[in-house]
Chain A
Amino acid sequence: MKHLTNLKLKVWRQDGPDATGNFETHIVESVSDEASFLEMLDQLNERLIGENKDAVVFDHDCREGICGTCSLMINGRAHGPQRATTTCQLHMRTFSSGDEIIIEPWRSAAFPIIKDLMVDRSSFDRIVESGGFITAPTGGAPDANLIPVPKPVADAAMDSAACIGCGACVAACPNGAANLFTGAKIAHLNVLPQGQAERYKRAEAMVNSMDDQFGSCTNHGECSAACPKEISLDVIALMNSDFRKSKSKNRKALSRG
């Protein structure tokens, strides 16, 4: 086990949503290269608390790369320099002794800063509430083979369902757009048989909800590159296509009523 020494951290500190923040510099004298990025911050916080100072506030939960709670813009990249990796799964061996590491919160009008590095991502919940589900009677689980799903379709749905809603796509997007997140949530259900009944209703409602809160897509591809689950830009194309069809199909459906 090796140790990294003399890391210079520039951490964004901000007291609340409306406060003005600034970078605060901390030196981490020594940290194991096996520590995760969050464990390195834990060590910093323990020291700060020992010195009777405010700990750096950041989001974290499962630390297994599957809950989507951790965030952080590390040296200008969402979730740090390693591809397909959440911040909690990023290890200090990615860095070298003496490095300067700049840590910022996600920045988006839809993600207000709660404190320091912690942001409020409930705008994503509002997108999912608007249509990211299927309306199904609850009760006993149906047999798994009741609805046949072709294997490639199941795989494609699973690839989209891998989205953990961490917000890296919005954070990385130069426009602060949430198209990759919304696209993933739409694609996940819209390719499956269970999702067909509400397919166009879902596309219209979720795109409208996204539109109210986020920027627009200019096809840079930064979202997909930053995504810890490597969700493809194809989900955005599917969303764009389904939204276009939804506009006429939903009107037609209404005119029947």
Chain B
Amino acid sequence: MAQTLRKSGESRAPVTGTAIAVRKKRSLILDIYSTAVGKKYVMAISGIAMMGFVFFHMLGNLKMYLGAAELDHYAEFLRSLLYPLAPKGAVLWILRGGLVAMLALHLHAAWSLTVLNRQARPVKYQSPRDYEVANFASRTMRYSGMTVLSFLIWHLLDLTFGVVNTVGTDSSFVREEVYANVVRSLDRWPVSVFYILANLLLGMHLRHGAWSIFQSLGWNNPRFNAWRWTFATGFALVVVIGNISFPIAVLAGIVKI
């Protein structure tokens, strides 16, 4: 590594052996977020928050197998979390706000890291790469993520706002009738196909993401390192199998109005 190559007039980067002697004026959080490693912490932490959401979302929705009354009652429980201590819907809106913030952070960190990575290799390899261990999931995180995001938007329009769920007999959408809405929506096979496809991609995204959390946050311990992939695979499988069972159950007529 002896040879150096500098254009004339260009100064070498400063030798920063005394890093702690230079105190940055930025706040700690911004200081950390300004680095690529810090953005990965944010990816990991926002990922954990959203993993918590998808897990409990799947778990709660399993109640549809117990019938309309049970599922609608569960939805009412979400709206009245901590009621009467807090007003109805307040806690739900706080959770929703947190999730939107986490999603925004996840997207911003992903975007800026992607830009950084493109800049790090302005001239690509001119011959085909022969990857050894990078798998389809890890190399398509951006695309699986964008597909899941577009599904999320559709999903909200479909079952929360009801603007694309007008196939019901009365063609009117009542948000509280969660069970009926789900069945009416998933009875349309293209919706179910999109639902299944998006969840398969979500599973891929989750498997690589759930493993990456440990690396990004530096949670590495020889005692549990072997379990990190087991956890990631298991988590992705549980979420995907649970979620995909819903459209299949509706199409198969197991869950019906």
Q: Does B78 belong to the interface (CB within 8 Å)? A: no
Q: Mark B117-137, 1 if CB is under 8 A from A, else 0.
A: 101111111111111111100
User: At the interface, yes or no: B252 with Cβ under 8 Å from chain A?
Assistant: no
Is A222 a contact partner of B131 (Cβ separation < 8 A)?
yes
Is the CB–CB distance between A112 and B220 below 8 Å? no
CB–CB B3/A120 < 8 A: yes
Interface residue tally for chain B (C-beta within 8 Å): 57
Q: Report the minimum CB–CB distance from B22 to chain A (whole Å).
A: 9
CA gap between A133 and B17 in the complex, in Å: 9
Q: Cβ of A241 and Cβ of B132 under 8 Å apart?
A: no
Residues of B within 8 A of A184 (CB): none
- B125 and A234 form a contact (CB under 8 A): no
Contact of A241 among B121, B129, B218 (CB under 8 A): B218
**Interface: A92 (CB within 8 A):** no
Interface code B4-40, partner A: CB below 8 Å = 1, 0 otherwise?
1100000011011111110100001001100111011
Q: Are B211 and A219 in contact, with the CB atoms below 8 A?
A: yes
From A28-36, A38-46, A48-56, A72-80, give the one contacting chain B.
Answer: A72-80
> Would you call B216 an interface residue if the criterion is a C-beta within 8 Å of the partner chain's C-beta atoms?
yes
**Complex Cα gap A76–B131 (Å):** 8
Assess whether A240 is in contact with B218, with CB atoms less than 8 Å apart.
yes
Q: How far is the CA of A220 from the CA of B133 in the complex (A)?
A: 7
- Scan residues 183-241 of chain A and give those whose CB is less than 8 A from a CB of chain B: 200-201, 204-205, 207-209, 211-222, 224-226, 233-234, 236-241
Count chain A CB atoms within 10 A of each CB in B4, B40, B129 and give the residue with the most. B129
Q: A207-B35, A211-B36, A216-B40 are in contact. Are A17 and B113 (CB under 8 A)?
A: no
7 A–B contacts, CB within 8 A, in A order: A175-B117, A205-B19, A218-B138, A222-B134, A233-B215, A240-B37, A247-B28
Q: With A220-B131, A222-B132, A240-B218 given, can you name 17 additional A-B contacts, CB distance below 8 Å?
A: A10-B127, A125-B4, A126-B15, A201-B18, A205-B17, A209-B13, A211-B35, A211-B36, A219-B216, A234-B220, A237-B215, A238-B220, A240-B40, A240-B41, A240-B215, A241-B220, A250-B19
Closest 5 CB pairs of A and B: A241-B218, A215-B120, A237-B220, A176-B120, A76-B130
